[in-house]
């Protein structure tokens, strides 16, 4: 492939119609990662036309054979895992171990959805009439517009694209501009595995010139979107005008509850990983720690001592604990929230600044930051920061902890650390999130269970597991009457 990274439309690598390009630089070092073709609405039209044409044959290609193609994808991803992980770290900054995990999640999803090519179960039920058979089957929708973020640039596309294509849909894929190279690598793997021309198409560019035209295109009945709540609501409004099917995976303000009987060593490990992994740039990141007042002081001291020892730097260095944030704009936004927390009266325990010493001045680094004595109504306890900032909120009881956990607009992930099984089951019953962990952090979802959240986090659909098939397929109910006469359900009586 040339130095210019291109679109992939109808099985061909092509430049955009605009003739324009954009660059991406390593957020740790400032070095050039790649130059990309910058697309516009005309490129979206070409990609949708290719996907629409391919759908007519792809939907009829046997589902088990579609699954076998995904087995090949999984094998190729596994072979190129280290290469892709290193490129991911260079492109968006996460430390190398996390990048390997990102690719592994795509491998796992490929294997899982490959198996669904031989399942995709419907139902058979007894009829209330004699000599009549009935069943339900799944059918694909058509062209799916897939819009993904930069923080999990291999995993999240796999959650959407693999179930879409194994069920017989075709795809137009718009990755985040910050991680265009990883989107391109993802499609390269599908091409190498033998995906037919037009089944998956890649269009590189920004939200205004690629995302919006894709959302509003009349020949794209399905949109799968992961991103901010503000952007997701805009997508939903645009799509609703055309009665499209939309899956939204949006923001989070996830809480870790630490009870007075918790294993604090375990809680510290879980909080540090959940709060500062991926530099806090996860929709499942723990940005709130709701801690029983009796252990607040000890937990705060332990977390601060560990956070101060965390090493910032280029994620390719195995000694680094926390990589850069994705951009200068994001860095400034995070630091603005730190200032807001201080102005609201929270106690800054450690961190709080933009790191600029030595080689760090070349990148976008923010210190791991911990606030203590935060109240539940402060902005830093209510709004998504999307950075390495965590707030300790003291409470006096489990009831109060549950109220605080539920007291935000989001509902993606939560966790509780406790040795009391009654506390654990109360949390499972009363915390209103799509995901709940017991004695673990707020991250670590596995691909064979549904992923998604409640309230402002999503719109009711789920990714991963068999739940993903429900979004990417329509149900068709079939009735076969072999009685040789007209039988009217709910009207005609059946004799014994």
Q: Give the burial class of 361: count Cβ atoms within 10 A of its Cβ; 0-12 exposed, 13-18 middle, 19 or more buried.
A: exposed
Phi, psi of 276 (to 5 degrees): -115, -10
- Beta-bridged to residue 410, according to DSSP, are 455
Q: How far apart (Å, rounded) are the C-alpha atoms in residues 448 and 467?
A: 9
Are the C-beta atoms of 473 and 142 separated by less than 8 Å? no
Q: How far apart (Å, rounded) are the C-alpha atoms in residues 13 and 354?
A: 40
Q: How far apart (Å, rounded) are the C-alpha atoms in residues 85 and 89?
A: 6
Strands 132-140 and 473-481: antiparallel
Residues designated catalytic: 249, 283
| CA distance readout (Å), 457 to 94, 208, 283, 384, 436 | 23, 23, 9, 11, 14
Q: Give the burial class of 232: count Cβ atoms within 10 A of its Cβ; 0-12 exposed, 13-18 middle, 19 or more buried.
A: buried
Q: How far apart (Å, rounded) are the C-alpha atoms in residues 406 and 412?
A: 11
Are the C-beta atoms of 463 and 160 separated by less than 8 Å? yes
Tokens encoding 229? 């709540």
Tokens encoding 142? 């058509």
Q: How far apart (Å, rounded) are the C-alpha atoms in residues 103 and 77?
A: 7
Question: Which of 247, 102, 109, 78 minimizes the C-alpha distance to 182?
Answer: 102
């Amino acid at each position: 492939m040339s130095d210019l990274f291109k679109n992939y439309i109808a099985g061909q690598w092509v430049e955009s119609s605009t003739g324009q390009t954009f660059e991406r630089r390593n957020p740790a070092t400032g070095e050039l990662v790649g130059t990309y073709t910058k697309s516009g609405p005309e490129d979206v039209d070409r990609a949708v036309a290719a996907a629409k044409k391919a759908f007519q044959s792809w939907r009829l290609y046997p589902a088990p054979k579609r699954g076998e193609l995904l087995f090949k994808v999984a094998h190729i991803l596994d072979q190129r895992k280290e290469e892709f992980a290193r490129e991911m770290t260079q492109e968006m900054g996460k430390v190398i171990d996390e990048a390997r995990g990102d690719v592994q999640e795509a491998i796992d999803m490929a294997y899982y959805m490959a198996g669904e090519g031989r399942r995709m179960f419907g139902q058979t039920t007894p009829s209330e009439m004699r000599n009549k058979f009935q069943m339900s089957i799944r059918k694909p929708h058509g062209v799916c517009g897939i819009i993904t973020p930069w923080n999990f640039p291999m995993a999240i596309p796999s959650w959407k694209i693999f179930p879409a294509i194994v069920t017989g849909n075709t795809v137009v894929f718009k990755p985040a501009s910050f991680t265009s190279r990883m989107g391109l690598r993802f499609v390269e793997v599908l091409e190498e595995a033998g995906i037919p021309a037009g089944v998956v198409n890649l269009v590189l560019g920004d939200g205004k010139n690629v995302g919006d035209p894709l959302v509003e295109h009349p020949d794209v009945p399905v949109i799968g979107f992961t991103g901010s709540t503000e952007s997701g609501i805009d997508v939903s409004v645009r799509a609703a005008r055309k009665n499209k099917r939309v899956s939204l995976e949006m923001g989070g303000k996830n809480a870790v509850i630490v009870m007075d009987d918790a294993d604090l060593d375990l809680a510290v490990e879980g909080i540090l990983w959940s709060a500062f992994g991926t530099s806090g740039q996860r929709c499942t990141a723990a940005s709130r720690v709701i801690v029983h007042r009796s252990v607040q002081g000890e937990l705060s001291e332990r977390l601060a001592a560990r956070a101060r020892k965390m090493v910032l730097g280029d994620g390719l260095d195995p000694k680094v604990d926390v990589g850069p944030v994705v951009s200068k704009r994001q860095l400034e936004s995070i630091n603005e929230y730190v200032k807001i927390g201080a102005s609201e009266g929270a106690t800054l325990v450690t961190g709080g600044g933009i790191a600029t010493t030595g080689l760090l001045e070349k990148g976008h680094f923010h210190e791991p930051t911990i606030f203590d004595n935060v109240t539940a109504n402060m902005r830093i306890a209510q709004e998504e920061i999307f950075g390495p900032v965590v707030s300790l909120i003291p409470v006096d009881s489990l009831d109060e902890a549950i109220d605080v956990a539920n007291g935000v607009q989001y509902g993606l992930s939560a966790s509780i650390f406790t040795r009391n099984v009654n506390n654990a089951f109360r949390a499972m019953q009363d915390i209103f999130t799509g995901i709940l962990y017991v004695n673990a952090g707020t991250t670590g979802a596995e691909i064979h269970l549904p992923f998604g959240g409640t309230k402002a986090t999503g719109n009711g659909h789920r990714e991963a597991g068999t739940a993903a098939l429900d979004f990417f397929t329509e149900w068709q109910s079939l009735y076969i009457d072999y009685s040789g006469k007209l039988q009217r359900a709910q009207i005609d009586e059946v004799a014994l």
